[in-house]
C-alpha cells in the first residue's frame, strides 16, 4: 500500500481528505496484518518514496521477486490508464480483476442503455430494483410506487432541534506530520489535528447504524433543506465510507431496510425509498455514466464557457450569504450536502458561466468524498450541464426563489431575494435570466425549458434591458459579490 504524492498534484485536495485516506489506508493495512497477510506499506515521507505509482511498483516487483502482477479495476480512468500501460511495460504476466464494490457492472450499464437515445436514471433505477429485488414485491415496487419524491423535500420547521451525530474524533497528528514533511499542497482547515470522518470499518458501521435508526426517519422529508445552523441535518455522511470502500453499498441499503422492518411506524417507506434511490440509483448510475463516457466526458463544455472561478470560492469571503455558508462549511468540514452543492455553489457557477474545468477542480479538491467517477458526473453533468443533457434533461438552476424557499440563508443576507435590478438585488435573480438569454439558441428547443422563454418574451423590453445590464455588471464585478 502506497501513500503517493502523485495523488496530490492533479488537483489540490482538502487537508481532511488527504488525511482521512492515509489514515484509513493505514488502519486497513493493520487489519490485514492482524489477519495474517503480508503487507508492504510505504509512508508518503518515507526515504526513497518517489511518489510515482509506476516507479514504486517496479521497485517492489524486483525486491520481492514478484512472478505475476495482479490488480483490481480502479475507480478512476486516470489510474486505469496508468495501470494498463504499466502492465504493457512489464516482463512478467499481469491480470486485472473486476471490482466487487458496486452493484452494477460496467458492461451491464452499457447493455441496459444499448440502442436507447437517452440515459434515463429512472429506467436504470427500476432495472436495478428488479435485478436486486430491493424494495420489490414480485415484479411490483413495494408500496405500489417506484418513487415517493412528492412526499419528500420540505423546508425545516422554524422550531427545529438539531439531530445528534456520533462523536467520532480521530487524532491524526502523525498523518498530518507526514503530509507536512512531504510538502503536499492542501486547502481547507482541520481542528486540533483530528477529523470526524470514519477511518475504519467499526466507525463506518457506527455512523451507518446511527443513520438508519436516528436520521433515516426524516431523511427524505428534509433532504433538500438548508440552514445556517447545521451542516449535516439528516444526511448520512456515508459518502466517504462508501467511496473509500469501508462499507459496501449493499450493506448500507440492507441496514436501512432492517431498521425499517424493525420499526415501520417510525421510518416511513417514502424515507427509505428516497435513501435507497440515492445508493442503488444515483450512485450506480453516475458510475455507469462515467465509464461509458470517459475520457471524452472530461472535456465537454456544452455552453462553451470560459470564466474563471472567483477567488472567494477558496475563502468563503462573499456577501452572498448562501454561498458564504456553503463554501465556509466546505472549507471547515470538507462537506456540503447535495442541495448545497447543486443549488447554491453549482447553481452560481452555472449561471455565471464558469468553465467546467474550474468547477471540477473545485469540487474534486474540496469534498471528502470527491473521487473523479462520482465528482465529474455530478459536476460537469448534473450541475453544470456541460454534457449537454447526458445526465440531466435540463440544467438544474434557479433564481433566489428556490434558495429562499428551502433555506434560512436569505433572511441574513445583505442582498434582497425578491428583486432583480436594484443595487442590492440578489445576483441569482438577474443572472438566472442572463444565463437563459445568452444560451437561448442551445436551450430554447428543450421542451422542459420552452416556457421560460415565453415568460421572458412577455416582459417589457425596458425590464429585459435592465435585467441584462444588471447581469453584465455583476459578471464584470464577480470578484466583489
Ligand atoms: P446523503 O444525502 O446521505 O445520501 C446518501 C448517499 O447516496 C451518499 O453518501 C452517496 O453515496 C449517494 N448519493 C446521493 N446522491 C448522489 C449522487 N448525485 N451521485 C452519487 N451518489 C449519490 N458525491 C460523491 O460521493 N462524491 C463527489 O465527489 C460528489 N460530488 C458532487 C458534486 C456536485 C456538484 C453535486 C451536485 C453532487 C455531488 N455528489 C458527490 C453527490 C452528493 O452530493 C453526495 O454524495 C452527498 O452530498 C454526500 O453526503 P452524504 O453521504 O451525507 O449523502
Ligand atoms: Fe443567496 Fe440571494 Fe438569498 Fe442572498 S438573497 S442568501 S445571495 S439567494
Q: pLDDT digit string (tens) for 389-399?
A: 999 999 999 99
3 state SS of 407: strand
Looking at residue 144, what is its pLDDT?
A: 94
The grid coordinates listed for 281 are 440509483
Q: Is 391 left (phi over 0), alpha (psi -120 to 50) or beta?
A: alpha
Residue 393 vs residues 62, 282, 388: alpha-carbon distances, Å: 52, 15, 8
Looking at residue 160, what is its pLDDT?
A: 80
Kindly give the distance from the C-alpha atom of residue 339 to the centroid of ligand 1, in angstroms, as a whole number: 10
Pocket of ligand 1 (CB under 6 A): 235-239, 242-243, 278-279, 282-283, 286, 337-338, 341-342, 346, 363, 367, 369-370, 374-375, 378-379, 382-383
Distance, CA of 352 to CA of 343 (rounded, Å): 13
Residue 289 has pLDDT above 90, yes or no: yes
Indicate the pTM of the whole model: 0.97
Name the band, by pLDDT with cuts 50, 70 and 90, for residue 464: very high
Q: What is the mean pLDDT of residues 133-140?
A: 96
Kindly give the distance from the C-alpha atom of residue 403 to the centroid of ligand 2, in angstroms, as a whole number: 7
Q: What is the mean pLDDT of residues 224-247?
A: 96
Kindly give the distance from the C-alpha atom of residue 341 to the centroid of ligand 1, in angstroms, as a whole number: 9
What letter does residue 226 receive in the DSSP assignment? Answer: B
Residue 152 has pLDDT above 80, yes or no: no
Distance, CA of 348 to CA of 432 (rounded, Å): 9
Please answer whether residues 51 and 39 qualify as being in contact, where contact means their C-beta atoms are separated by less than 8 angstroms: no
The grid coordinates listed for 244 are 473509500
Pocket of ligand 2 (CB under 6 A): 320-322, 400, 403-404, 409-410, 413, 415, 417, 426, 428
Residue 383 has pLDDT above 90, yes or no: yes
What letter does residue 229 receive in the DSSP assignment? Answer: T
Residue with CA at minimum distance from ligand 2 atom 5: 417
Which ligand gives the minimal distance to the CA of 420? 2
Phi, psi of 9, rounded to the nearest 5 degrees: -115, -10
Domain with CATH 3.40.50.620 in the chain: 6-97
Please answer whether residues 224 and 339 qualify as being in contact, where contact means their C-beta atoms are separated by less than 8 angstroms: yes
Residue 318 has pLDDT above 90, yes or no: yes
b (16+ CB within 10 A) / e for 439-470: beeebeeeeebeebbeeeeeeeeeeeebbbeb
The CATH number for 311-480, chosen from 3.30.200.20, 1.10.10.10, 1.10.579.10, 3.40.50.300, is 1.10.579.10
Residue with CA at minimum distance from ligand 2 atom 8: 400
Question: What proportion of the chain, given as a percentage, has pLDDT over 90?
Answer: 94
CATH class of 106-169+190-293: mainly alpha
Name the band, by pLDDT with cuts 50, 70 and 90, for residue 154: confident
Q: What is the mean pLDDT of residues 103-118?
A: 93
Residue 163 has pLDDT above 90, yes or no: no
The grid coordinates listed for 166 are 456520533
Sign of dihedral through CA atoms 38, 248, 238, 397?
A: positive
- In 3-state terms, the chain is what percent helix, strand and coil (to 5)? 55, 5, 40
Distance, CA of 148 to CA of 448 (rounded, Å): 21
- Calculate ∠ Cα 113-396-162, nearest 5°: 110
Residue 286, Cβ neighbours under 10 Å: how many?
A: 19
Q: What is the CATH number of domain 6-97?
A: 3.40.50.620
Please answer whether residues 298 and 375 qualify as being in contact, where contact means their C-beta atoms are separated by less than 8 angstroms: no
- Segment (H or E) for 140: strand 140-141
Torsion angle in degrees (nearest 10) through CA of 412, 415, 417, 420: 180
Domain with CATH 1.10.579.10 in the chain: 311-480
Residue with CA at minimum distance from ligand 2 atom 6: 410
The grid coordinates listed for 325 are 455558508
Distance, CA of 393 to CA of 122 (rounded, Å): 12
What letter does residue 340 receive in the DSSP assignment? Answer: I
Distance, CA of 33 to CA of 46 (rounded, Å): 20
Residue 316 vs residues 255, 323, 324, 345, 441: alpha-carbon distances, Å: 37, 7, 5, 11, 34
Which ligand gives the minimal distance to the CA of 329? 1
pLDDT digits (tens, 9 = 90+) for 340-366: 999 999 999 999 999 999 999 999 999
Q: Is 71 exposed, middle or buried (0-12, 13-18, 19+ CB in 10 A)?
A: middle
Kindly give the distance from the C-alpha atom of residue 343 to the centroid of ligand 2, in angstroms, as a whole number: 11
Please answer whether residues 283 and 242 qualify as being in contact, where contact means their C-beta atoms are separated by less than 8 angstroms: yes
Average pLDDT, the chain: 96
Name the band, by pLDDT with cuts 50, 70 and 90, for residue 294: very high
What is the Cα Rg of the chain in Å? 23
Domain with CATH 1.25.40.80 in the chain: 106-169+190-293
The grid coordinates listed for 60 are 517492489
- Angle between the 53-63 and 77-88 helix axes, to the nearest 10 degrees? 40
Question: What proportion of the chain, given as a percentage, has pLDDT over 70?
Answer: 100
Return all residues near 74 (Cβ < 8 A) that are at least 6 apart. Answer: 80, 83, 99
Amino acid at each position: 500500500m502506497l501513500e503517493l504524492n502523485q495523488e496530490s498534484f492533479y488537483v489540490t485536495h482538502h487537508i481532511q481528505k488527504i488525511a482521512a485516506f492515509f489514515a484509513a489506508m493505514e488502519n486497513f493495512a493493520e487489519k490485514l496484518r492482524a489477519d495474517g497477510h503480508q503487507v508492504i506499506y510505504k509512508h508518503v515521507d518515507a526515504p526513497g518514496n518517489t511518489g510515482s505509482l509506476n516507479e514504486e511498483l517496479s521497485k517492489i516487483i524486483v525486491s520481492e521477486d514478484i512472478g505475476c502482477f495482479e490488480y483490481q479495476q480502479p475507480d478512476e480512468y486516470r489510474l486505469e490508464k496508468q495501470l494498463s500501460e504499466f502492465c504493457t511495460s512489464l516482463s512478467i504476466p499481469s491480470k486485472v480483476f473486476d471490482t466487487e464494490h458496486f452493484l452494477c457492472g460496467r458492461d451491464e450499464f452499457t447493455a441496459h442503455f444499448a440502442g436507447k437515445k437517452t440515459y434515463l436514471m429512472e429506467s436504470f433505477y427500476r432495472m436495478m430494483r428488479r435485478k436486486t429485488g430491493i424494495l420489490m414485491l414480485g415484479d411490483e415496487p413495494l408500496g405500489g410506487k417506484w418513487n415517493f419524491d412528492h412526499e419528500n423535500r420540505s423546508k425545516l420547521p422554524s422550531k427545529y432541534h438539531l439531530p445528534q451525530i456520533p462523536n467520532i474524533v480521530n487524532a491524526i497528528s502523525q498523518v498530518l506530520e507526514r503530509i507536512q514533511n512531504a510538502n503536499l499542497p492542501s486547502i481547507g482547515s482541520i481542528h486540533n489535528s483530528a477529523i470526524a470522518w470514519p477511518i475504519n470499518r467499526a466507525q463506518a458501521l457506527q455512523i451507518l447504524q446511527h443513520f438508519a435508526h436516528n436520521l433515516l426517519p426524516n431523511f427524505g422529508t428534509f433532504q433538500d433543506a438548508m440552514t445556517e445552523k447545521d451542516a449535516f441535518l439528516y444526511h448520512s455522511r456515508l459518502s466517504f465510507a462508501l467511496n473509500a470502500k469501508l462499507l459496501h453499498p449493499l450493506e448500507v441499503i440492507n441496514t436501512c431496510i432492517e431498521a425499517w422492518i424493525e420499526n415501520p411506524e417510525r421510518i416511513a417507506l417514502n424515507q427509505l425509498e428516497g435513501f435507497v434511490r440515492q445508493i442503488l440509483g444515483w450512485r450506480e448510475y453516475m458510475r455507469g455514466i462515467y465509464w461509458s463516457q470517459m475520457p471524452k466526458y472530461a472535456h465537454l463544455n456544452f455552453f462553451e464557457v470560459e470564466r474563471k472561478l472567483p477567488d472567494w470560492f477558496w475563502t468563503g469571503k462573499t456577501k452572498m450569504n448562501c454561498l458564504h455558508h456553503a463554501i465556509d462549511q466546505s472549507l471547515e468540514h470538507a462537506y456540503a450536502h447535495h442541495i448545497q452543492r447543486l443549488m447554491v455553489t453549482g447553481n452560481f457557477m452555472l449561471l455565471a458561466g464558469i468553465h467546467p474545468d474550474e468547477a471540477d477542480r473545485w469540487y474534486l479538491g474540496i469534498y471528502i468524498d470527491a473521487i473523479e467517477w462520482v465528482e465529474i458526473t455530478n459536476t460537469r453533468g448534473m450541475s453544470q450541464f456541460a454534457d449537454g443533457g447526458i445526465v440531466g434533461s435540463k440544467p438544474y438552476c434557479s433564481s433566489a426563489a428556490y434558495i429562499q424557499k428551502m433555506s434560512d440563508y436569505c433572511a441574513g443576507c445583505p442582498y434582497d431575494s425578491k428583486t432583480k435590478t436594484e443595487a442590492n438585488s440578489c445576483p441569482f435573480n438577474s443572472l438566472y435570466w442572463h444565463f437563459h438569454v445568452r444560451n437561448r439558441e442551445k436551450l430554447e428547443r428543450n421542451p422542459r425549458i420552452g416556457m421560460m422563454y415565453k415568460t421572458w418574451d412577455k416582459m417589457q423590453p425596458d425590464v429585459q434591458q435592465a435585467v441584462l445590464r444588471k447581469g453584465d455588471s455583476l459578471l464584470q464585478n464577480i470578484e466583489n459579490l
